[in-house]
Structure 1
């Protein structure tokens, strides 16, 4: 298995929680993080090596990433595992999957690339690379089947992990946040490149919001110690170190449960915010050269997962140069002030949660067992 970032590790951990009881003695290895390791997974390379986003950012690390891919490919071709499962990270995994599939090794891909949002031509590469798709959005199954690719909708693992009615009071108590304050969570991303482009704008927006309400509380969960140090350095360099942001290690779900509203980088985290039923502003920033290329590849008007699933601009999206501190603050302020707006979003996000709720661990594990021809293990 290969997962390339924190969100992929979380999703893969859910799959392994369902699969391990049926394959108690199996060797499971590749690239992954702590959620996967809880189920006896061994990571051959640090997952952070793959956590690079953006066309030109990837090019800067191309030689190292390619070296990892080749080393893993050679080991797997020699080992001939019963199945290879790529979890998201399509730029790394699809090329690897194609070579393994050509060698007769079954390949599965968990979390389909956003072919319904941009780069639709990629489905031809998927057909060459993947024996079976595991998809997490209900509309994806038909897209792949029409292209001749076996696919199973397994629900989104996060819909199981996140409670239908999060307890805000318990989360605030655990984080030491005032029970009756208005709390804004800041989620600039788990990748270093996301922090580079988002952290300063998000904290600067917090500074503007504090001018409107000095009692606001801000909490920013970091994916790890490396990310926390980089975040702190970026904020210091921008002269924003006096903005009172409560930076915490991990606990992003607890921060979302505690929040009244969220500023979030586009990606899986925006779906997590929706499943916590929180108002949000979604921002997306990257290297300028990457942005000029990627913006022409989109063929639908939304980039945030909550808006894509709703087929509507439920929450504001601020992209690249539009994601200024002032614009972020101006977009978030009504979500703190307008109770009727918060109620409407809560209802829509609750409907979304029900749609995505399946026993993902069991259904994805069953699909793996079916692909490798193994009966369900009985105790």
Structure 2
């Protein structure tokens, strides 16, 4: 198995929670994170080596990433595993899957690349790479059936991990927050590149909000020690260390549960916020050269998963130059003070949660065993 980032680690761990009890003695190894390790997954390389986003950022790390893929490929050619499972990370995994499949090794890919949003031509490459696709959104299943690619809709694992009813008061108590005052949680991203480009704008947004309402509580969870150190470095460099922020290690779900609204970098985290039934503002910044290329490649007007699933802008999005602290702060302020909007979003996100709720661990584990059995 290969997972390339924190969200992939979570996805894979959910699958392993269903798979490991059925094959307790199997050797399951590759590239993954701490949640996968809880299910006796063996790491051959640290997952952080693959956690790079943006065209030019990837180019800077291309030699190292290619070297890891080449070594892993040779190892798997020799080992001939019963199945290889690429967990997201399509730029790394699909090429590897093509080579492994040609060598007679069954390949599965867990969570479809966003071919319905951009780069739809990748479905031809996926057809060569993947013996069986596992998808997490119901509309994806028909796309793969139409292309003749075996597919299983497993539901989204987050829909099982996150409860339907959220105990906001308990989350605030756990974090030591004052129950009298409102809370904004800020999620700048788990990748180092996301933290690099999002942090200053996000914390300047927090400054505008706390200047307007000094009792407002700002919570910023960090995915790990490296992310925390880099975040602090960026805040100090921007001379924003005076902004009152509660910086916590991990516990991002607790931080989201505690929030009245969330400022979140686009990605899986935006779906997490929706499943917690919280208002949000989605924002994203990246290297300008990458943005100039990527902004012309999308098929839809939305980038945030909640908006894509709903087919409209149910929450605001601010991308690149539009992601100004002033614009983001105003949108957050509106959400904090509009009870009708908050209730409407809660209803819509609850319906979304039910749509995505399946026995993900059991269904995905059975699909893996079926592929192994077919071999």
> In which range does the TM-score fall when normalised by the shorter chain?
over 0.9
2:78 match: 78
Aligned equivalents of 2:262 and 2:352: distance in 1? 18
Given the alignment of the two structures, is residue 43 of structure 1 paired with residue 43 of structure 2, yes or no?
A: yes
Matches within 5 A, 1:149-228: 149-228=149-228
**Can you list the C-alpha shifts for 1:149-196, whole angstroms capped at 9, x where unaligned?**
111000000000000011011111111111121000000000000000
Given the alignment of the two structures, is residue 289 of structure 1 paired with residue 289 of structure 2, yes or no?
A: yes
1:143 match: 143
Q: Describe the SS at the equivalent of 2:262.
A: strand
1:27 match: 27
Matches within 5 A, 1:1-379: 1-373=1-373
Q: Describe the SS at the equivalent of 2:21.
A: helix
Aligned equivalents of 1:18 and 1:210: distance in 2? 44
The number of aligned residues is 375
Aligned equivalents of 2:149 and 2:179: distance in 1? 50
Aligned equivalents of 1:358 and 1:163: distance in 2? 13
Q: Describe the SS at the equivalent of 2:186.
A: strand
Post-superposition offset of 1:210 = 1.1
**Can you list the C-alpha shifts for 1:311-345, whole angstroms capped at 9, x where unaligned?**
01000000100001111101111100100000000
Q: Runs (4+) of structure 1 moved beyond 3 Å?
A: none
Q: Describe the SS at the equivalent of 2:314.
A: coil
Q: Describe the SS at the equivalent of 2:20.
A: helix
**Can you list the C-alpha shifts for 1:219-251, whole angstroms capped at 9, x where unaligned?**
000000000000001000001000011010000
Q: Describe the SS at the equivalent of 1:120.
A: coil
Aligned equivalents of 2:181 and 2:41: distance in 1? 41
Aligned equivalents of 1:39 and 1:211: distance in 2? 46
**Can you list the C-alpha shifts for 1:32-59, whole angstroms capped at 9, x where unaligned?**
0011000110010000000000111000
TM-score normalised to the size of structure 2? Answer: 0.99
Aligned equivalents of 1:333 and 1:368: distance in 2? 46
Deviates more, 1:186-195 or 1:328-337: 328-337
Aligned equivalents of 2:2 and 2:242: distance in 1? 40
Post-superposition offset of 1:128 = 0.5
CA RMSD, 1 decimal:
0.9
Q: Describe the SS at the equivalent of 2:121.
A: helix
Post-superposition offset of 1:296 = 0.6
Post-superposition offset of 1:213 = 1.1
1:377 match: none
